Structure 1
Amino acid sequence: MSSALPHGVRRIRPALRLAGGALVMVVLVWRFGTGPFAAAWRVTTWGSVAAALALTGLATLANAWRWRVVARALGAPLTPFGSVAAYYRSQFLNAALPGGVLGDAHRGVRHGRDAGDLGVGLRGTVWDRVTGQVVQAGLLVVALALLPTPLRPYAPVAFAGLGAVALFAWWLGRRQGAVAFVGHDLRALLRPGVAVRVVAGSCASTAGHVAVFLVAVAVVGVDATPALLVAIALAVLVGSAVPLSVAGWGPREGVTAGVFALAGLGSTTGLTVSVVFGVLAGVATVPGVLVLLADAVVRRPRPTMEEQAPALEEARRG
């Protein structure tokens, strides 16, 4: 899909993402000062870090399972251990490198090479991320519409945004040429047996990340109803998907400050919560370092397709 963009835009797109995230952070520091950032570092505890590690671990298992479901539907199955290790690696790289998506790109390329089809590997990773974010957006719409919170008036806006995404997906699915694969992939992923598992995995993953956000809220000491905090957490998760960040920082902080202000909890408090959440989410990706170290130590030659055949067949059987 990116091939439709002019060559010059494609070349500078990573720099634009980095610049966008940096600009958001500069504006936030200019508007609120360094106080919320210093306060976040003071209140973060080892107990909250341990909780974030455990909750993110559960979310990572759910994400890896969803990825396996997507990859199998596209014809490039993954093993359980390999998918979990690759997901931890990609999360750490996303958190440590500019742009917030380089880990996913590495995950897709590596999967494609291992499966003998680079295109399928990249598409599987993209669909894994896209389906997860669409489910998160759907959960946000449900939360805004059903939960008694000050954010309920914004439910129609969220619903319209989700509808626009669905309409765009339908339009892409009917295109021919360079994006003809979209329709083929959507038909594979929307089969009931696949779609139900993708939604279930996404819901479990979202629950884990919402729980980490609630840990950050508890650490800061925000007094609000559970319904409001869940709605805010879902809005932050959806807003964090905006592809303008510096190693994950930028949009998340801006969205959190804005949503807290809309909920009547104060934008400064929201920024502090977001920084704590960012620290916890970043530290929770540290197991990915172990995967990178194992990669460096083992350095085994990449197996041939004939050597991979038994493992791939086992993965297909589940």
Structure 2
Amino acid sequence: MRARSWLRLLGGALVLAVLLWRFGTGPFVEAWRVTTWWAVLAALVLTSFATLTSAWRWRVVAGRLGVPVAPGPAVAAYYRSQFLNATLPGGILGDAHRAVRHGREAGDLPAGLRATLWERLGGQAVQVGLAVLAVLLLPSPLRPFAPLAVAVAVAVGMVAWWLRRRGDAARPGFVAADLRALLERRTASRVALASAGSTAAHLGVFLVAVLAVGVAAPLTVLVATALVVLVVSSVPVSIAGWGPREGVTAWAFGFAGLGSAAGLTVSVVYGVLAAVATLPGAVVLGAEAVRGRGLRRAATPPAPLTSSPVLEEARHG
């Protein structure tokens, strides 16, 4: 497990090193220059919507697996996990922390871990589906990749079908049992709706980054490119989310004739906006630390009165 974590970090670092060697520091400096307060405010608003919809998706999945989460704690936990994902190496440690904590609080650690895993996989599956539709239907330079996109979507669907059918009806494995529950029509539709809302909000943040950089391109091209970037960004081979996202954005913008350097700048601005928009998670962590310290103090018994030197002296005259 430790070797796998190091490989993820090295993968992200390698991509960043190649980008620095290819483009220099210019796109990174430009990204800091064009990031404005209006862009930060827009990112905060859009990310709050993404957090609400993602927390709802988590609640739907967790409730279906028998470990429900209340609305308020779900939003707070999701903000906390996003902040940790954006600040710690790997980009998934926040989700791991959320899963373990939820499982322990619910008294069923395996179910808590599975709830977070399926919630994240469900969101990524919808994101892949939207990216495939965008490449297929929207006029953009990415259309030649439509057959590959369809092949990926079919492969994901076939794997889900096989896992759902795995095992006999009397004693199915937990994967098959979970998928049967989560692919039930009402549950699946709510997960899909929540995931579409979250993806739309992250797409909005990407378009804000495009506007901040000043890239002029048809909306169809930007939407198709952004959805592909969001899919690649979810690959857990990065340094707190940095690495593959910058590489694929530079490639996609170059392929679309918008300039690889401009794409890299857009990706850096998007990364900055996405990181800043998770700062409410830091507030959640701070509040939990203060509350935990208060609880520990309340649980500590007061020192016995006989331990006071003054009382001892008075007692013995």
State the TM-score, normalizing by the size of structure 1.
0.89
Among candidates 260, 266, 276, match of residue 273 of structure 1: 266
Tell me what 2:63 maps to: 72
Tell me what 1:197 maps to: 190
Aligned partner of 2:15: which letter?
V
Among candidates 21, 36, 46, match of residue 45 of structure 1: 36
What is the correspondence of 1:1-318 to structure 2 with a 5 Å cutoff? 10-175=1-166, 180-299=173-292, 300=295
Equivalent residues of 2:91, 2:238 under 8 A apart? yes
Q: Distance in 2 between matches of 1:174 and 1:205?
A: 29
1:285 match: secondary structure: coil
Q: Distance in 2 between matches of 1:199 and 1:172?
A: 19
Q: CA deviation at 1:95?
A: 0.3
Aligned partner of 1:47: which letter?
W
1:247 match: secondary structure: coil
State the TM-score, normalizing by the size of structure 2.
0.89
Q: CA deviation at 1:175?
A: 4.5
1:75 match: secondary structure: coil
Q: CA deviation at 1:155?
A: 1.4
Q: Deviations for 1:183-235, whole angstroms, at most 9, x for unmatched residues?
A: 11100110001000000000000010000000000000001011111111101
**Long gaps (5+) in structure 2:** 297-317
Q: Deviations for 1:112-155, whole angstroms, at most 9, x for unmatched residues?
A: 00110111101110111110011000001111111111211211
Identity %: 65
Tell me what 1:311 maps to: none
Segment drifting more, 210-219 vs 10-19: 10-19
Q: CA deviation at 1:74?
A: 0.8
Q: Distance in 1 between matches of 2:277 and 2:214?
A: 21
